[in-house]
Amino acid sequence: MCSFLPVSPAVSADKVHDIEITLERGMCFGTCPVYSVSLFGNGTIVWMGEMFVDVIGNRTEFIDPAMVADLYDQIIYGGFQDFADLYTHLNITDMPSATLTARNGTDMKQVFHYHGDYTAPENLTYMENAVDNVGNTSRWVGTYTPDEDTKENQIKFDVF
């Protein structure tokens, strides 16, 4: 359960199944994990690992639907709908990005967050991390280590 702010229910019981929260983590200059995870109001979690994660491909798991509803409430009460749609300023280059989408029925908000943009609200990062925590993505992200054949195929630079 996440706890970055106090919660009172924003989602009525009949709207819980319409919830979808998706976090997409994008590339950086190095080996940042690239994946997406979606949490649905019925408790379904859908993982899609792309690069630099232990689990490449799709996985589906299930959690208590109340955890997804609680996460959605916390995102909404945390001010997500008031955030800008894009945080793309380059205070630092070569950082990863994240796109967080929260939907409940026809109500939808999506925020793109380049992690080198210092103007992004700190609460946005907390929300992204909360999605990872509730979805328990660490079981699929793991600790990436390149395969030996990948190391052999890397570009070699001559030192003069």
Domain tally for the chain? 1
Does residue 53 belong to any structural domain of this protein?
yes
User: Beta strands 86-87 and 107-114: pairing type?
Assistant: parallel
Beta bridge partners of 40: 20
> Domain range for residue 126?
15-152
CA 28/CA 25 separation, integer angstroms: 10
From residue 50, give the alpha-carbon distance in Å to each of 56, 57, 134, 137, 152.
Answer: 5, 7, 20, 13, 21
Cα separation, 38 vs 65, in Å, equals 13
40 lies in some domain: yes
Residue-wise pLDDT tens for the chain (160 aa)?
444 444 445 555 556 679 999 999 999 999 999 999 999 999 999 999 999 999 999 999 999 999 999 999 999 999 999 999 999 999 999 999 999 999 999 999 999 999 999 999 999 999 999 999 999 999 999 987 766 444 444 444 444 3
CATH label of the domain that carries residue 100: 3.30.1560.10
**Is 4 domain-assigned?**
no
Dig out the tokens for 152 from the structure. 């052999």
In a domain, 2, yes or no: no
